[in-house]
Amino acid sequence: MRAPALTAAVLAFSLLGGCTQPASSSTPPPSSSAGPTAVSLDLTAPDQARAMVRRLIAKAGTPQLIQVEITKEWAAITVVKDSQAETWAWRDNTIKQVDSDVAYVQQTIFSIDDFNITDVGGLFRAATSISGSDSDQELQIVDSSAGQVFMSVSTVPESRTVFFYPDGALLPTLEFSTEGGIRLGLEDASGTRTTAVAIGVQSNLGAWLDFPGSTTTTIRRLRTASVPVTINERSQRPDLPPFAVSRVRASAIWRVLADARQRDAFELGTRWQVTIDDRARTGVPRMYFTIGTTSLVTDLDGHQVSP
């Protein structure tokens, strides 16, 4: 009587085991459903950004650049073709032409070979040390509006934009409460100009130079503490006599400020400004100072004269 029971038990076990499939046979391999693997490329790694910009230039068909943008994950260039701006970008592992609001309005055209983007990550780290932020950093190469092309690093949310020369050196932050800051500011504002109708320095703004744009406009070159020279053209007839830029010396401006400090009329936080022009039309410009609430006029050597 026990044999039929044993046979039934063995048969039931065999049927149960036959219905059980190995886990691997019912689960498809990961590669069968995962699709192609996305290529990960970090443009902040050494040499990666330059290689990518060259790929974009090859696709665009011209090296005539007016703008370059680089982040860790994407890059874009704007080139000039037949006097029109054309933008190409690398995003999502694809290079293609994209829409852009960048237009060609006679910006300076540059070559990527003139810019040190070998290590964009190093530029980002340098910018972080100054701005205090590394949030969504973007490197941009573009005309600053004064005809010079600089590199800059900005962030999102926006913090202080940090500027670099083409070789990767930091644009110095100028302190206009020092003679050196005044000198560098005047040099940058003057650029290659040999004449001006007015030159000035303001402690809370920067150094500037005015020259005629036309018979009805005046152009100002302005160098602030942390931004390269920018240009602004205003509708104002340039009716002041021109004079040689070389006649203006930072040492003479600083002498006036130092004398005011000795008289306790000038402290570190005191706002001051000076405008140099020939408003008296004598053929010799003078320096017109406002230091705090005090005004005075000096010659170009810093010696006080009667207004």
272 lies in a domain?
yes
CB-hemisphere CA count at 13 Å for 106?
2
Indicate if 147 and 188 belong to the same structural domain.
no
Domain endpoint, select from 164, 198, 226? 164
In a domain, 169, yes or no: no
Residues 145 and 224 in one domain: no
**107 and 202 both lie in a single domain:** no
Q: 164, 197, 230 — which closes off a domain?
A: 164
Domain assignment present for residue 122? The answer is: yes
Task: Please tell me whether residues 140 and 229 are part of one structural domain.
Answer: no
The pLDDT of residue 145 is 80
- One-letter amino acid for residue 83 of the chain: S
192 and 155 in a common domain: no
Residue 24 inside a domain? The answer is no
Tell me what pLDDT residue 147 has: 87
- How many domains is the chain built from? 2
* pLDDT tens digits along 215-234: 899 999 999 999 999 999 99
**Token pair for 112:** 């990527």
Contact status, residue 221 vs residue 209, Cβ threshold 8 Å: yes
pLDDT band, very low/low/confident/very high, at 5 (cuts 50, 70, 90): very low
Residue 215 domain flag: yes
For the chain, give the percent of residues with pLDDT over 70. 87
pLDDT at 17: 40
Residue 268 pLDDT greater than 90, yes or no: no
264 confidence band (pLDDT: 50, 70, 90): confident
Q: Per-residue pLDDT for 9 more than 90?
A: no
17-66: pLDDT as tens digits: 443 344 333 334 443 334 444 457 999 999 999 999 999 999 999 999 99
Report yes or no on 170 lying in a domain.
no
Cα distance between residue 83 and residue 63, in whole Å: 14
Are 258 and 214 part of one and the same domain? yes
- End-to-end alpha carbon distance in the chain: 135
- Confirm whether 62 is domain-assigned: yes
Neighbours of 91 (CB within 10 A): 13
Query: What is the tens place of the pLDDT at every residue in 120-168?
Result: 999 999 999 999 999 999 999 999 888 899 999 999 998 899 999 999 9
How do residues 88-133 score in pLDDT, each as one tens digit? 999 999 999 999 999 999 999 999 999 999 999 999 999 999 999 9
Report how far residue 139's alpha carbon sits from residue 76's, in angstroms, rounded to the nearest whole number: 11
Coil, helix or strand for 228? coil
Does residue 145 sit within a domain?
yes
Do 197 and 160 sit in the same domain of this protein?
A: no
* Residue 61: per-residue pLDDT: 96
Enclosing domain of residue 202: 179-305
Answer yes or no: do 205 and 281 share one domain: yes
**Whether residue 189 sits in one domain with residue 138:** no
Average pLDDT value for the chain:
88
For 174, other C-beta atoms within 10 Å of its C-beta total 21
pLDDT value for 39: 52
pLDDT greater than 90 at residue 181 = yes
- DSSP secondary structure string for all residues of 242-295: PEEGGG--HHHHHHHHHHHHHTT---TT--EEEEEE-TT-SSS-EEEEEETTEE
Query: Are residues 194 and 301 part of one domain?
Result: yes
Do 289 and 274 contact (CB within 8 A), yes or no? yes
| CA–CA separation, 122 and 119 (whole Å) | 5
Which of 104, 136, 164 is the last residue in one of the domains?
A: 164
Same domain, 249 and 276: yes
Give pLDDT, residue 306. Answer: 85
pLDDT in tens, 165-178: 999 999 999 999 99
Q: Are strands 84-91 and 138-143 parallel, antiparallel or unpaired?
A: unpaired
Task: Order the strands of the 149-154 sheet from edge to edge.
Answer: 94-98, 84-91, 75-81, 65-70, 138-143, 149-154, 162-164
Same domain? For 131 and 208 the reply is no
